[in-house]
Structure 1
Amino acid sequence: MRIGIVGLGVISKVYLETLREFAETTVTAVADLVPERASAVVGARATSVDEIYTAPDVDLILNLTIPTAHSAVARSAIAGGKHVYGEKPLAISTVESREILSLAENAGVQVGCAPDSVLGTGVQTARATLDSGGIGAPFAATAFMTTPGHERWHPDPEFYYRHGGGPLMDMGPYYISALVTLLGPVRRVVGMASTPQATRTIGSGPRAGTVFPVEVATHVTGVLEHNTGALSTMMMSFGVWAGQLPRIEIYGTEGALSVPDPNGFEGTVSVFHPSDPQWSVVQPSAGYLGANRGCGVVDMVRAIDHGMPSRASGELAHHVLDVMESLLAAADSGKSVDVLSMCDRPAAVPLGGGD
């Protein structure tokens, strides 16, 4: 599959490295609004953003732009007859993401979306443990992501604090995608949110000291009710200086499961049974080995080749976005909100990815 990349920021370097490791993918063209970024990429043709969507040597557009541009890039790629895989979120609203999926279906092309970290050995080994009955019937989970904020290290952090940003939209896709992979889709949510700081200050780079406004909730907490009846308690925050909370834990009728950071591909999975007072490490038993950003593109290409649904699919990304949007709506209304979209629980990944 011939890949054209739109957006050559920091994350593009990792994608380029990953895609060059697999025989199924080759990066043929790259484009960025800053032409110098495209010309600096070795081994791919630098072109314009407008031209890449209709380029004859491109089959799939990899969309690595900022969140507010995700929808426009995806629509342009689909209009050019290209498959499209994007960074998360799929769009900044479910209205936009629903349109992307509809356009892709009509055009006969596929849509995929990050995060693909759920395809690594961490989340997939945890899933295999659940599916084998390792902790009995899962009935609850916790998911925590806390940080003081990205402005401490990012030289241009404003977009994290505008519409489409915030801890939920930025980091929530990792955690909710993992929860859906582990426990299935979500049918209802309740939530609350706050914005403790009205402004933030850039802490590094040439613009250090610059103060900018915060336009979104920076502390979001809520409960997700899965179709199975399991309840996941979440907290996503850009306001916590330090914490010792677990990333994700799953609680079952016969034990508990500790899941590593879903923002990573590996990590230690541990299980607790009442018959043993110690947590036991579960050896990797499923997932892509040594994976990194971009394995979801490879997984999507393999799915297209075999006529199968991809695991990091547009449908999953739309559902995750719907869950996040519903959580914020619940926080605004003070009432529970039904999640109207639905998706299949993605297929499990065999150890090594099945390659």
Structure 2
Amino acid sequence: MVKPVNVGIVGCGAISAAYTTTIARLAGLRLTAVADLDAARARATAEANGTRALSVAELLADPDVDIVLNLTIPAAHADVALAAIAAGKDVYGEKPLATTKAEALQVLQAADTAGARLGCAPDTVLGTGVQTARWYVDNGLIGRPVAATAIMNHPGHERWHPNPDFYYTPGGGPLFDMGPYYITALITLLGPVSKVIGAASRTRSERTIVTGPRAGTTVPVTTDSHVTGILIHDSGALSTLVMSFDSAATRAPNIELHGEQATLHLPDPNHFDGEIHAHPVGGTWTSLPTRAGYQDAARGYGLADLTTTPPTQLPRTSAALALHVLDIMESLLTSTTTGQATALTTTCDRPPPVPLGPLEPRTE
């Protein structure tokens, strides 16, 4: 029999709807309560999902909550995670794990001391897109991996988001907002990183909100809005990363992976699926069959993967992986100010691959 894990959500913003939809269709998860600093927003989310609206303190103290799904803004990620761990809960959170490596290390230490399980988005790497690309890499299609490019060019979230303020503060920007999707995919494909070299710019001091009730309001920009860098993987492969909120568009592939024998063209790592294309030396571009990954995955599969992973193993979206991603991003920003290569102080195991198929709940 399946014994569902009871989930309590802290943070009922726009992304919460994607998670509640996934929780409703996975037999191994049950939404038992929601909380938000905006009580009206929490009530609306609770009513839409047939559950309870509580205060944050009430949710953390509730014995019916097994795991806290932390969907707060990045600046609150560490504080909410620490409070949940102190309350005896497991935690799965949105990316990044924290806004600084120092805060993230505090969260990992607290979880280790308490014996709490800790996971972190992005979980898009668990879908058929990135996992199929990994399958072909692991099975030798491209030969020895040599390099990768990961590119995200975008004009900025103020064009669609009614409250984009936090995207332009430390802990936001294109690197901390979108970088985790691309960097987590690169680690999944090529393994951990030992050193980074970065450069960055900030083209505008403020942004104007385009949509919603605050349209016309300006938002100050206090973090870099264009970041580029080189990631030097332990394997020797080199990844080039470009994350920008300062460009109109691009035709560059989201991720290209180059090996001695072939190149792979990957879909957007902010999505779970998509076609993989290969170009062997002397050949042409062809579409490859799907070989690995959770089928029909969506946001929340990382949470479910954590609850189905045996307690003796790290989940595929582990806090150790999220810490390494955060270290890479923070080190890139350090390199942009020093003008020198920055060595990483963390590492992680390359997460286990996901076989092709549905995500099965744990049975009791």
TM-score (norm 2): 0.95
Is this contact kept in 1: 2:296–2:358, CA < 8 A? no
What is the match of residue 312 of structure 1? 317
Letter in 2 for 1:161: Y
Are residues 1:74 and 2:81 paired?
yes
- Runs of 4+ aligned structure 1 residues displaced above 6 Å come to none
> How far apart, CA to CA, are the structure 2 residues paired with 1:220 and 1:165?
12
What does residue range 213-232 of structure 1 map to in structure 2 within 5 Å? 213-232=220-239
Q: Could you tell me the percent identity over the aligned residues?
A: 53
In the alignment, residue 213 of structure 1 is paired with which amino acid?
Answer: P
Q: Which letter does structure 1 place at the counterpart of 2:88?
A: G
Structure 2: runs of 5+ lacking an equivalent: none
The aligned counterpart of 2:352 is 347
Q: Deviations over 1:140-174 (max 9, x none)?
A: 00000010000011111111001111000000000
Contact kept in structure 1, 2:97 and 2:120, CA below 8 Å: yes
2:66 alignment partner, one of 44, 59, 70 = 59
Q: Distance in 1 between matches of 2:145 and 2:71?
A: 35
Cα separation, 1, equivalents of 2:301 and 2:317: 10
The 8 Å contact of residues 295 and 358 in structure 2, kept in 1 or not, is answered as yes
Q: Secondary structure at the match of 2:61?
A: coil
Cα distance, 1:275 vs structure 2: 4.0
| Amino acid corresponding to residue 329 of structure 2 in structure 1 | M
Match status 1:291 vs 2:270? no
Q: Partner of 1:48 in structure 2?
A: 55
Report how many residues are paired: 353
CA RMSD, 1 decimal: 0.9
Q: What aligned pairs does 1:1-355 form with structure 2 within 5 A after superposition?
A: 1-40=5-44, 41=46, 42-276=49-283, 278-304=284-310, 307-353=312-358, 355=360
Counterparts of 2:61 and 2:313 in 1: how far apart (Å)? 26
Letter in 2 for 1:340: T
- SS class of match (2:298): coil
Alpha-carbon distance in 1 for matches of 2:169, 2:34: 27
1: CA distance between counterparts of 2:53 and 2:312? 31
TM-score w.r.t. structure 1 length? 0.98
1:44 Cα deviation (Å)?
1.4
Name the amino acid aligned to 2:76: A
| 3-state DSSP of counterpart to 1:125 | helix
- Structure 1 unaligned regions, length at least 5: none
